Structure 1
Amino acid sequence: MSPEAAATLVIVGPVLLACVLLGVGRVVPRPVVDAAAVLAALAVAAAGGLLLVATREHPVVVALGGWSPSSGGIPLVVDGLAAALVVLVGLLGTAALVSSWRYFVTVEARFHVLVLFFLAGMSGFVLSGDLFDMLVFFELMGAVAYALAAYKTEEARSLQGGLTFGVTNSLGAYLSLCGIALLYARGGALGLAPLGVALPRPEGPDALVVFAFALLLTGWLVKAAVVPFHFWLADAHAVAPTPVCTLFSGIMAPLGVYAVLRVYPVVFGDVLPADGVGRALIVLAVVTALTGTLMCALQRHLKRLLAYSTIAHIGLFLLGVALWTSEGATSSLIYLVGHSAVKAALFLLVGVLLARTGSVDELDLHGKGDRFTGVLFVVGGLALAGLPPFGTGLGKGLLEHAVAGGPVGTLLVGLILVTSVGTGAAVLRAGLRVHFGVGPEPPDRSHPEQTGGEGEEQETTPGREQARPMIGAAVALLLGGLAVGAVPAVGHRLAVAAAEALDGTRYRAAVLGEPIGPVPTATGAEWQLLEVGVGLGTAAAALALAVLAARRTTSARERWPGRARRRAEHALEHLHSGHIGDYVTWLLVGTVVLTGLVALP
């Protein structure tokens, strides 16, 4: 298969199969539907692998309809970064579909249809070389994600979570559309490469371009759940079917960070100063990492706990991108891929608990989990904390090294350590309590403003057999997260892909048919002795903190000093109120703040 055909297949293939399954799903046996959908997801991953090999020397450009990008055509552009993410989309889609075998009490082919459309939307978003078509795929991805989040239509909470997701993400998309319109008015092009050439380069910043960039960035950061655009994510994860959460946290939210890394170097790299944009992103990254870590530590609802952990790590991914260096981008990409595999595995293990007990409440499940699943859960928690040789540990170590030399390097390294230890400890605390019965059984399980996870609607009939595909998929994902850090060839290829992504000139030349420069030199992605030592230290610290937290008879909320605890708890709970109006207000406030940060000289 040619690379051009493979690039088209990852979008068209899932859509065509989804249409077929939509027509025959009611009459075809369920195993046939399962097998067809899984094979389609595997085909996406395989095509991504072929593209990863084909793009070693130069990007692959597909001119849709035969219209060249220089004459206004819409291209698909595949470089190492895009190909790697297509592989990730296919593998996580496979895991989600495999884990749904025998899982839902009642499920028809429409679930598989939605997942296939979701995969097509994410693949198209990654490969599109045109701003407007990125938005089209963004909306396709979003519309399907709304339906998947609210898949359990018989539950009011599911509809509420889906509605919150839909409204906030749609508003983000509308703001991005406004930014795209302004850029088209200024540059007369929509393609990333033509627009990067057409935008004027005045001596000082162009106010219209700055505003357009901020609007465009807002849509991507809403999808990435960057604070203060993050409120929808935990609500959606809490109500979405567990296999869907693997896609939400594993790849959909990180695609917002991908969009920042893709669009800025190509379109704005020669127009807006990297220092100003980087400063704005670093501020958002720090606030996101701290907020996510704190909220993660306060959760008892296991899906919400993992969702806030994702928010915290999104902050770290964004931090690496904001440096606009090869080492920073490499650390973010490796960290992102390793985290995606580990976090998806943890969500599936929570799905096993829900399948067997009908609860995802840490306190309600005290001592009710089994040991084998518990071992996997603990391994996942240690990986989040940076345990070598997982990809999360390698990405964390590279990120620490990348930020260490800056003016606030010590503070940023401390932020990375706090985020890794804090989120890892929260996951380990839950795993030790639920699966190993560590600590006394909590005497008081009620809290007036705390979201519990007991009495959840079971997504499958109780039993061990229904959970076996989920356990198998979780094991495979953990092994994948291990391979990202343990196999040098994987880290090297991701490092090259990250270096290419920062070279906007090379991307534009490939799309416009101009001579392409050599492959950029990649920053090393190998383990260093210091990184191994720090990774072991953060994993040990997270485990020790988790044991201490699990052995206490009171939760983290009750351990805070009285007045400070009450004020902080009240503020955090009311910020995350679940009211769409509040979330929309914060979205608009965030847009204003982001615009101001980008515009600062």
Structure 2
Amino acid sequence: MDTARLLPLVVAVPLLGAAFLVAVGSRLPRAAASLVSCVFAVAGSLLAITVLRRVTGAAAYSVEWVAGWRPGQDGHGVGIVLVADPLGAGLAATASLLVVAVLVYSWRYFEAPQRHQTGAFPALILLFQAALCGFTLTGDLFNAFVFFELMGAVAYALTGFRVEEPRPVHGALAFGVVNSLGGYCLLLGITLLYARTGELGLAQIGRQLDGGGPTALVLAAFVLVSTGLLVKAAAVPFHLWLPDAHAVAPTPVCLLLSGIMVELGVYGVTRVYWTVFAGPGGVPQQSFTDALLVVGVLTALLGAVMCWQQRHLKRLLAFSTVAHVGLFLIGVAVPGPEGTAGSALYVLGHAGVKAALFACTGILLDRYASVDEHELHGRAREFKVFSAVFLLAGLALAGAPPFGPGLGKATAEAAAAVTAPWTPVVFVLVSAVTGGAALRAGLRVCLGMGHPPADTERARSGEGETSGGGEEPETQGRLVRLPLPMLAVPATLLAGALAVGVVPAVARAAGHGAALMTDRGAYLAAVLDGVDAPPVVFRSPSWTGSGLGLGVLSAALAVSLAVLAVRRSPDAPPSRPIARLRRFQSGHIGDYVAWTMAGVALLALLTAPGILG
């Protein structure tokens, strides 16, 4: 079958699976509903992988105008177009495989009969897969908004899945309000672009903007569209919803939120800039670079500092995601394809490592009814394989060779150093601090290193919102023995992150995809004119001496920080500046909305001089 004909199926198959489970799930036993969801998820994954293999081979782009609604001779049209290139198809395949991992991991979750008889959870997961794949493959800005909102709506429902408990409802509400505000900004930006060009397709808008110079309207559209996507990416100061949502969402949902959803926000910003705003009538490259560098550095540093301060393991990993989103943004801000290729590899490796760490955290929660680093001191020493996976994942998060995050970090920091020579320092410090926080938790929980907390009773009851003590298991009762799927999934995810760093074909696909992403003319010609993209010259990312050295340095710093931290008393209070910083994570929706508006103003200030000055 022609590759283009497969694109609608990548989205439609999980949608059909979700519809089937909604229709007949109440009549199926739990095991049957789980099996059906896995079958549809695997089918969608195979389709996405097939598309990926074909677009990384002879064809650079695969374009499908749904139902044959192509633009007329004047270039105008109302049809919906799906476009696959190596980066978009790669993210669709990654999202689909991660959904399969989540469904396998959650086989033992939510065993209350009323939940499994409805098939609600697996149906929502399949709907989430469809939204993720649709967002990566669409070539239409309005349909990107539709998939964006579908993704958000499903994520709200999954975050507050335990609707009978107040904390998940509150976390889902904060998630929903802030992300809906981002969606409104995105829709308003699309409206301005439609008013300017009369088009909704990415390629059509880009070509129409080429007919004029930069204007205040284009600036406003760029700021609003970027705001909507950066809210989903949890970039500072739009990030406040993410730790609250992760703290209360079911652990399998966290695998998707941190493993792929926030990364799609970074992908969206990159895709929209290079197809719509990178021309003569859009936003100058220097303005885009300056804006994303500032936002990326703020996000990376603040996320790393807050990650180090957490003892609630889910919050720790959530702030780690925020920090790494900052590093992804620094990579895509760099002119040329090298930084984008590095960020692409970083995203792939991070997806496996972060999902593995969340899966391990879920095991701790269901075995010991706690995700408090201090309360869990020495508890996991009984599980040797689990401990090895957790500690290796912490090292991989720190950028240790030869894991995928290390190769992505090495490639992105080398590219960024050409534009801003100080950026490798940010990469090394942020990787060391976030990896060190995960290793610190692993040393305490898995090896029993350091001093046990003096007041475990206070940890269980007095600070439940921030410490993670006294949680309820997400399975029906505490686990006595670790189910094989729950242990096999994090080990497999970690192996996948290793493959990203050592399999040359993955790096080559990332380099090829980044070269196509930044070649705006080839995208417009392929979508609007049906012209095959000419062969592009690109550099396949690979390990270099400096990349290996900086990776070893960040990993060594992470281990050193972790060892020093476990020697301190776990009951030591935070310093006054850190205590003040933590107050920004207030939990009040009004505060989060105010910071979102401040972020809009920041983006406008960073971008305006290059257009209006």
SS at match of 1:394: helix
Most deviating of 510-519 and 49-58: 510-519
Partner of 1:488: 504
What one-letter code is carried by the residue in structure 2 that aligns with 1:587? T
Partner of 1:593: 602
**CA 1:251 to 1:556, structure 2 compared with 1: closer, same or farther past 3 Å?**
farther
Partner of 2:229: 220
Give the TM-score normalised by the residue count of structure 2.
0.94
Of 178, 195, 204, which residue of structure 2 is paired with 1:185?
195
What one-letter code is carried by the residue in structure 2 that aligns with 1:574? R
Most deviating of 575-584 and 461-470: 461-470
What one-letter code is carried by the residue in structure 2 that aligns with 1:35? L
Aligned-residue offset at 1:211: 0.5
The alignment status of 1:156 with 2:166, answered yes or no, reads yes
CA distance in 2, matches of 1:372, 1:104: 25
SS at match of 1:77: strand
CA distance in 2, matches of 1:186, 1:487: 45
SS at match of 1:62: strand
Partner of 1:371: 384
**CA 1:357 to 1:333, structure 2 compared with 1: closer, same or farther past 3 Å?**
same
Partner of 2:50: 50
Partner of 2:539: 523
CA distance in 1, matches of 2:145, 2:427: 32
SS at match of 2:45: helix
Identity %: 48
Give per-residue Cα distances to partners, 1:341-367, cap 9 Å, x unaligned: 110010000000011011000011111
CA contact (8 A) 2:512 2:540 kept: no
Listed as ranges, the matches of 1:244-393 within 5 Å are: 244-270=253-279, 271-369=282-380, 370-393=383-406
CA distance in 2, matches of 1:164, 1:190: 30
Partner of 1:147: 157
What one-letter code is carried by the residue in structure 1 that aligns with 2:137? L
CA distance in 1, matches of 2:42, 2:564: 42
Partner of 2:409: 396
Aligned-residue offset at 1:134: 0.3
Partner of 1:72: 78
The alignment status of 1:206 with 2:246, answered yes or no, reads no
Q: How many residues align?
A: 591
CA contact (8 A) 1:103 1:466 kept: no
CA distance in 2, matches of 1:98, 1:54: 28
CA distance in 1, matches of 2:53, 2:571: 50
Of 83, 86, 96, which residue of structure 2 is paired with 1:90?
96
CA distance in 1, matches of 2:375, 2:167: 20
CA contact (8 A) 2:174 2:589 kept: yes
Give per-residue Cα distances to partners, 1:75-121, cap 9 Å, x unaligned: 01111111100110111001110000112232321000100000001
Aligned-residue offset at 1:593: 1.1
Aligned-residue offset at 1:465: 4.2
SS at match of 2:236: coil
Give the TM-score normalised by the residue count of structure 1.
0.96
**CA 1:478 to 1:556, structure 2 compared with 1: closer, same or farther past 3 Å?**
farther
Structure 1, unaligned runs of 5 or more: 559-564
Partner of 1:561: none
**CA 1:90 to 1:517, structure 2 compared with 1: closer, same or farther past 3 Å?**
closer
**CA 1:13 to 1:294, structure 2 compared with 1: closer, same or farther past 3 Å?**
same
CA distance in 2, matches of 1:29, 1:13: 22
CA contact (8 A) 1:129 1:191 kept: yes
CA distance in 1, matches of 2:550, 2:277: 36
The alignment status of 1:243 with 2:252, answered yes or no, reads yes
SS at match of 2:82: strand
Give per-residue Cα distances to partners, 1:15-66, cap 9 Å, x unaligned: 1111111121121122221112112222222111111122132211111121
Most deviating of 211-220 and 47-56: 47-56
CA distance in 2, matches of 1:322, 1:555: 41
CA contact (8 A) 1:43 1:90 kept: no
CA contact (8 A) 1:121 1:138 kept: yes
SS at match of 1:76: strand
The alignment status of 1:454 with 2:469, answered yes or no, reads yes
Partner of 1:512: 528
What one-letter code is carried by the residue in structure 2 that aligns with 1:457? E
CA distance in 2, matches of 1:34, 1:402: 44
**CA 1:571 to 1:519, structure 2 compared with 1: closer, same or farther past 3 Å?**
farther
CA distance in 1, matches of 2:555, 2:233: 26
CA contact (8 A) 2:454 2:571 kept: no
The alignment status of 1:196 with 2:198, answered yes or no, reads no
Aligned-residue offset at 1:159: 0.2
CA distance in 2, matches of 1:412, 1:557: 32
SS at match of 1:388: coil
CA contact (8 A) 1:276 1:598 kept: yes
Aligned-residue offset at 1:171: 0.4
Aligned-residue offset at 1:513: 2.1
The alignment status of 1:548 with 2:558, answered yes or no, reads no
Give per-residue Cα distances to partners, 1:476-496, cap 9 Å, x unaligned: 100000000011111111111
SS at match of 2:450: coil
CA contact (8 A) 2:512 2:538 kept: yes
CA distance in 2, matches of 1:188, 1:129: 16
CA distance in 2, matches of 1:495, 1:349: 32
Of 443, 456, 466, which residue of structure 1 is paired with 2:454?
443
CA distance in 1, matches of 2:12, 2:554: 44
Aligned-residue offset at 1:517: 3.7
**CA 1:116 to 1:527, structure 2 compared with 1: closer, same or farther past 3 Å?**
same
CA distance in 2, matches of 1:105, 1:362: 27
SS at match of 2:63: strand
Partner of 1:101: 107
CA distance in 1, matches of 2:578, 2:533: 54
Structure 2, unaligned runs of 5 or more: none
Of 127, 130, 133, which residue of structure 2 is paired with 1:123?
133
SS at match of 1:400: helix
Aligned-residue offset at 1:278: 1.0
CA distance in 1, matches of 2:166, 2:49: 41
CA contact (8 A) 2:61 2:533 kept: no
CA distance in 1, matches of 2:564, 2:192: 54
What one-letter code is carried by the residue in structure 1 that aligns with 2:7? A
Aligned-residue offset at 1:557: 4.7
CA contact (8 A) 1:433 1:550 kept: yes
CA contact (8 A) 1:500 1:519 kept: no
CA distance in 1, matches of 2:545, 2:217: 48
CA distance in 2, matches of 1:317, 1:555: 34
CA contact (8 A) 1:352 1:467 kept: no
Of 433, 439, 453, which residue of structure 2 is paired with 1:428?
439
CA contact (8 A) 2:10 2:44 kept: yes
CA distance in 2, matches of 1:592, 1:296: 26
CA distance in 2, matches of 1:295, 1:141: 27
What one-letter code is carried by the residue in structure 1 that aligns with 2:278? G
Most deviating of 219-228 and 1-10: 1-10
Give per-residue Cα distances to partners, 1:186-242, cap 9 Å, x unaligned: 011000001101125445x31100011100100000000000000000111111100
**CA 1:15 to 1:514, structure 2 compared with 1: closer, same or farther past 3 Å?**
closer
